[in-house]
């Protein structure tokens, strides 16, 4: 299973930090030789390799997405060259359909027991790692059968869709081969024990509008609700977790407190943007772009706090959510603010005759992630680039973001089904 003779393919692309230098094949003698021995014209193989290399280099600064796309492109090119005996420029819907069928039941020589790097360093060169395979068995039992999940197939489709769009943009393909691939060819083997749609835990557009309207009205009548309005809008609009609005421990027991200094104005190509630096999960920092529509809420909150300027200034140390004593409120208090906002919204729903909807809101009154999921889902559904949203969410890769937040096919299906006549 691990002998190279039984596996005809080979790794193609190195790590993200080396991808920009890989165009020089002199450092990759094994790869150079393998590209010249394929059952397609050598120039076609080199063209395929270099266009794919340029595509992957675009994602080298986003490690999770780069690794996922690299795995998929390597796998697809190995199949296209070795099994279909075609070049990338000859890809069509028949090729892609047969590729998805291949992924569901791949030959054993294409599967490794564990994940291995494609290249290893030896005498100043990058050589093939003989243990590398395009597919990996995640089970600790080497005799366990390999199976491709629907989530993995969806991730493969997403990667190929993005790749094909790039090839179309650069006139490498004339038509997207995925357009005519039947959905059943992209589906995993049926699981008779499962009949559940993937469910994103988010508010409906109506629920969000109702929540926002309720808090805006309450804050206009009672200043105590200004904090509720700001917290809810900020968590939803900037895709924040509760812990990302409260002080959290960092190195040596020190606390990092979110301050207005975390809001910064930047200039890109002469255009002004505002960003918020988040110290998030895994002690990683990310930047979230502030929507223009959010700026009025930020100004409103600062005006309520009686701060001297409408917008934050560099180095400002005032906590974003100050307590009565002047320091910052904690995670539990932020959680409580969310719960109070949801209860207030449910009370209004019940008074206005929406009893069922009120019960739904009360049922999730402690689940703050609904705001983060709602903001991300609405942004993607409105046409935002899923890669950009993935970065602002702090996800390792865009395919994970799609699997959690996007299900447009299900949305269309349910909408069309609801419109059927009896």
In the chain, where are the structural domains located?
4-186, 205-412
Give the tens place of pLDDT for each residue, 42-67. 999 999 999 999 999 988 887 778 88
**pLDDT for 282:** 61
E strand or H helix at 224, and its extent?
none
Which residue numbers in the chain have pLDDT < 70? 1-5, 138-144, 182-200, 251-253, 280-283, 386, 395-422
Structure confidence at residue 198 (pLDDT) = 46
The per-residue pLDDT for range 2-17, each reduced to its tens digit, is 344 488 899 999 999 9
Helices (H), 314-407: 331-351, 355-363, 369-381, 386-393, 398-405
Distance CA 45, CA 81 (A): 8
Rg (CA), the chain: 26
pLDDT for position 184: 52
Phi, psi of 158 (to 5 degrees): -60, -45
- The separation between the first and the last C-alpha atoms of the chain, rounded to the nearest angstrom, is 57
pTM of the predicted protein model: 0.53
Residue 157: alpha-carbon gap to chain centroid:
14
pLDDT at residue number 387: 73
Q: What is the C-alpha separation between 58 and 199, in angstroms, rounded?
A: 31
CB atoms within 10 A of CB 200: 17
- Across-strand partners of 288? 276
Q: Show the beta-strand stretches assigned E in 108-176.
A: 111-113, 119-122, 125-128, 135-137
β 271-279/263-268 pair status: antiparallel
3-state secondary structure of 256: strand
CATH 1.10.760.10 fits 205-412, yes or no: no
């Amino acid at each position: 299973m691990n002998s190279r003779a039984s596996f005809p393919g080979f790794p193609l692309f190195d790590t993200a930090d080396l991808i920009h230098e890989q165009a020089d094949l002199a450092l990759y003698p094994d790869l150079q030789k393998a590209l010249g021995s394929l059952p397609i014209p050598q120039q076609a193989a080199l063209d395929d390799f270099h266009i794919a290399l340029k595509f992957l280099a675009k994602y080298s600064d986003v490690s999770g997405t780069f690794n996922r796309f690299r795995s998929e492109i390597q796998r697809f090119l190995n199949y296209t060259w070795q099994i279909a005996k075609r070049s990338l420029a000859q890809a069509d819907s028949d090729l892609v359909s047969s590729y998805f069928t291949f992924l569901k039941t791949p030959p054993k020589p294409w599967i490794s027991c564990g994940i291995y790097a494609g290249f290893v360093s030896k005498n100043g060169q990058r050589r093939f790692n003989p243990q590398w395979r395009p597919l990996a068995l995640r089970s600790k039992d080497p005799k366990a059968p390999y199976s491709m999940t629907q989530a993995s197939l969806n991730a493969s489709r997403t990667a190929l869709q993005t790749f094909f769009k790039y090839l179309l943009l650069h006139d490498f393909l004339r038509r997207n081969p995925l357009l005519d691939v039947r959905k059943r060819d992209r589906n995993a083997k049926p699981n008779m024990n499962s009949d559940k749609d993937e469910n994103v835990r988010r508010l409906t557009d109506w629920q969000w509008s109702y929540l926002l309207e309720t808090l805006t009205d309450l804050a206009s009548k009672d200043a105590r609700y200004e904090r509720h309005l700001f917290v809810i809008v900020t968590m939803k609009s900037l895709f924040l977790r509760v812990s990302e609005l409260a002080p959290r421990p960092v190195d040596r027991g020190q606390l990092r407190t979110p301050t207005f200094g975390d809001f910064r104005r930047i200039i890109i190509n002469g255009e002004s943007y505002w960003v918020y630096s988040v110290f998030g999960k895994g002690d990683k920092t990310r930047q979230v772009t502030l929507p223009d529509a959010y700026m009025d809420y930020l100004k409103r909150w600062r005006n309520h706090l009686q701060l001297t300027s409408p917008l934050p200034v560099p180095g400002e140390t005032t906590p974003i959510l100050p307590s009565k004593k002047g320091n910052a409120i904690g995670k539990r208090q932020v959680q409580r603010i969310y719960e109070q906002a949801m209860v207030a919204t449910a009370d209004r729903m019940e008074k206005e005759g929406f009893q069922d909807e009120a019960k739904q809101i009360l049922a999730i009154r402690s689940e703050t992630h609904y705001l983060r999921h709602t903001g991300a889902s609405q942004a993607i559904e409105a046409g935002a680039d899923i890669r950009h949203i993935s970065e602002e969410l702090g996800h390792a890769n865009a395919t994970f973001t799609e699997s959690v937040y996007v299900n447009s096919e299900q949305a269309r299906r349910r909408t069309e089904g609801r419109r059927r006549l009896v």
